[in-house]
């Protein structure tokens, strides 16, 4: 009792009671303060605002199973029944905005780039790529890097240097396919790695030409070519796949594989800058980029020697030429040893290899699963490249590059449409989208696999569109939405010139602006390498259909599940080939 009286006397008990009441109130206030805060006027999942983690648990539950963030996002758009909605993915941060309206997306990407620029969380995730143009805002560094590589998408360079190399790599890939086909004896086999290796070799030819001697497909041919029927394990069932061993690739090529995996994991990290710093101290991380630096320095040295001798053929040598011209204009010595050369070209190799190989896998799957499209394409190739067909030989590169093949162009465009990943931008000023306030720093995802793309568009109040959007309405803002927009239908992209059903250049024209498309982005940050990617797909897929009949693989080896990263790639890509 005396102790209690003492406590009352000196005020300790009162302070204790005040603390007992105040601390829970403060904690509750802090909890409520940290809860997700929706942007006014934009649809959202109300349950997500009741948890500090927002939409994260629901998102992880699905994406951990599917590997596809874009599919979960498209479901949110449909669930909220609105062309603009918000999700809460980064705790204690601003919500992410999903926009599923092509017209407004196009307007922002092409006309409002002073309001929206490169997403900082993507730049942070790509920090390992160094001085690659893709990590920069659309500023002087971005433009300077783009200027260095501007010669590499010209018709002269693509048709004179890259095209013949792609053609030769396609021939090598067809030999690998034929060797596997014979050993598999009518059974399916995976071509996932084969396409990855072929695209990787194409990018190495693009960058270094014959200065680079270690190939990926060549190593696979050595290994598979050394096998005999007795040394290959053939399953009893004709529907069971044959597994082939992989040839070893050199360390630099491994670094090209591993760099995008680092980027993807870093982008998804809670604190990407801290993760990059921590990983940079690890031996495995250092090895990847040490191997990259060694190979790139060696190639730059060869390129400088060739440039000084007046030999300018490869992508790297053209970059050196551009730097020399820029230095002369600026009144300085050229900086051929700059880190920019190594990082820029490495980034181009990584991006081009990863995206184009996945695209060729998707094309193979669609052509396999729709024999009528495959047969029609083969017929178009034979009639268009009639001399080669009559002479019972494969077309040459010059023949395929000059050939007008609107149906093949449409097949490629339709594949890209269906498998596009969201384009992302960050608001760099306070602004609006469809009349809704968007604060500086907000991440905006331009969805291309939801309403307006793979399902009918949502109606939009025209008065809420931006002024530039109101002035830019076009006929191709949406498809004929009575069609099944999720179905693979290349003829969406064709404009008929004659009656009938023919799809040669005499019958149809290809219209790349026939409908909504965001796969390469739009505006000043449009994908730089799209012409190279299209050439590679056109040559190699034409070779595939000309050389083989693609028969269906079993259901368990098929399907259209994908994995998202720099691009969307199939989880599986099996073929059952018959030589024609």
Under DSSP, is residue 76 helix (H, G, I), strand (E, B) or coil?
helix
Give the pLDDT score at 294: 96
**DSSP assigned state of 463:** G
Give the pLDDT score at 7: 46
Flag whether pLDDT at 78 surpasses 50. yes
Would you call 21 exposed, middle or buried from its count of C-beta atoms within 10 A (0-12, 13-18, 19+)? Answer: exposed
Flag whether pLDDT at 9 surpasses 70. no
Model confidence band, residue 509 (pLDDT cutoffs 50, 70, 90): very high
Residues making up the annotated binding site are 527
Model confidence band, residue 34 (pLDDT cutoffs 50, 70, 90): confident
Flag whether pLDDT at 217 surpasses 70. yes
* Total H helices, total E strands in the chain: 22, 14
Tens of pLDDT, residue by residue over 98-137, are 999 999 999 999 999 899 999 998 888 888 899 999 999 9
Q: Look over the chain and give the mean of its residue pLDDT values, rounded to a whole number.
A: 92
Flag whether pLDDT at 15 surpasses 80. no
CA distance 411 to 381: 13
Tens of pLDDT, residue by residue over 343-399, are 999 999 998 888 999 999 999 999 999 999 999 999 999 999 999 999 999 999 999
Tell which residue, 79, 117, 78, 107, has the closest CA to residue 453.
Answer: 78
Give the pLDDT score at 4: 46
Yes or no: say if 439 and 94 are a contact pair by the CB < 8 Å rule. Answer: yes
Tens of pLDDT, residue by residue over 220-254, are 999 999 999 889 999 999 999 999 999 999 999 99
Residues making up the annotated binding site for heme are 527
Please give the distance of CA 432 from its chain centroid, rounded to a whole number: 28
- Strand 443-446 relative to strand 96-99, pairing: parallel
């Amino acid at each position: 009792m005396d102790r209690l009286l003492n406590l009352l006397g000196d005020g300790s008990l009162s302070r204790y009671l005040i603390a007992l009441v105040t601390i829970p109130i403060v904690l509750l206030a802090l909890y409520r303060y940290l809860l997700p805060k929706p942007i006014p006027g934009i649809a959202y999942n109300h349950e997500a605002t009741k948890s500090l983690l927002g939409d994260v648990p629901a998102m992880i539950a699905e994406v951990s199973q599917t590997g596809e963030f874009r599919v979960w996002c498209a479901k949110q758009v449909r669930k909220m029944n609105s062309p603009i909605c918000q999700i809460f993915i980064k705790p204690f941060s601003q919500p992410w905005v999903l926009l599923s309206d092509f017209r407004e997306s196009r307007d922002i990407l092409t006309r409002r780039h002073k309001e929206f620029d490169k997403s900082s969380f993507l730049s942070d995730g790509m920090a390992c790529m160094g001085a690659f143009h893709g990590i920069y805002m659309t500023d002087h560094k971005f433009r300077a890097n783009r200027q260095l590589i501007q010669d590499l998408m010209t018709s002269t360079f693509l048709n004179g240097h890259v095209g013949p190399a792609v053609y030769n790599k396609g021939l090598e890939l067809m030999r690998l396919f034929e060797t596997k086909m014979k050993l598999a004896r009518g059974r399916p086999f995976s071509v996932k790695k084969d396409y990855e290796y072929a695209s990787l070799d194409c990018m190495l030819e693009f960058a270094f030409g014959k200065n680079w001697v270690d190939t990926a497909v060549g190593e696979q041919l050595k290994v598979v070519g050394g096998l005999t029927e007795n040394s290959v394990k053939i399953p009893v069932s004709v529907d069971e796949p044959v597994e082939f061993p992989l040839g070893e690739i050199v360390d630099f090529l491994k670094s090209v594989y591993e760099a995008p995996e680092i980027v993807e994991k870093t982008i998804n990290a809670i604190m990407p800058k801290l993760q990059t710093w921590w990983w940079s101290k690890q031996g495995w991380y250092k090895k990847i980029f040490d191997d990259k630096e060694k190979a790139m320095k060696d190639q730059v040295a060869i390129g400088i020697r060739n440039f000084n001798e007046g030999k300018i053929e490869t992508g790297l040598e053209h970059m050196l030429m551009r730097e020399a011209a820029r230095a002369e204009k600026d009144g300085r010595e050229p900086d051929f040893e700059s880190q920019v050369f190594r990082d820029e070209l490495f980034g181009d190799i990584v991006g081009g290899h990863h995206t184009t190989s996945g695209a060729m896998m998707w094309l193979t799957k669609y052509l396999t699963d729709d024999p009528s499209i495959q047969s029609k394409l083969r017929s178009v190739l034979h009639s268009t490249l009639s001399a080669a067909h009559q002479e019972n030989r494969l077309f040459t590169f010059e023949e395929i590059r000059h050939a007008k093949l609107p149906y093949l162009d449409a097949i490629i465009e339709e594949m890209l449409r269906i498998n596009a990943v969201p384009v992302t931008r960050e608001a760099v000023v306070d602004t609006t989208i469809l009349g809704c306030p968007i604060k500086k720093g907000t991440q905006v995802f331009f969805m291309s696999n939801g309403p307006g793309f793979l399902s009918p568009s949502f109606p939009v109040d025209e008065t809420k569109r931006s002024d530039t959007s109101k002035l830019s309405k076009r006929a191709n803002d949406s498809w004929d939405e009575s069609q099944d927009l999720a179905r693979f239908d290349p003829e969406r992209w064709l404009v008929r010139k004659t009656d009938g059903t023919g799809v040669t250049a005499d019958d149809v024209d290809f219209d790349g602006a026939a409908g909504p498309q965001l796969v390469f982005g739009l505006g000043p940050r449009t994908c730089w390498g799209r012409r190279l990617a299209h050439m590679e797909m056109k040559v190699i897929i034409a070779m595939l259909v000309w050389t083989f009949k693609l028969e269906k693989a079993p259901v368990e080896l098929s399907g259209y599940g994908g994995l998202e990263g720099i691009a969307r790639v199939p989880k599986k890509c099996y073929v059952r080939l018959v030589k024609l």
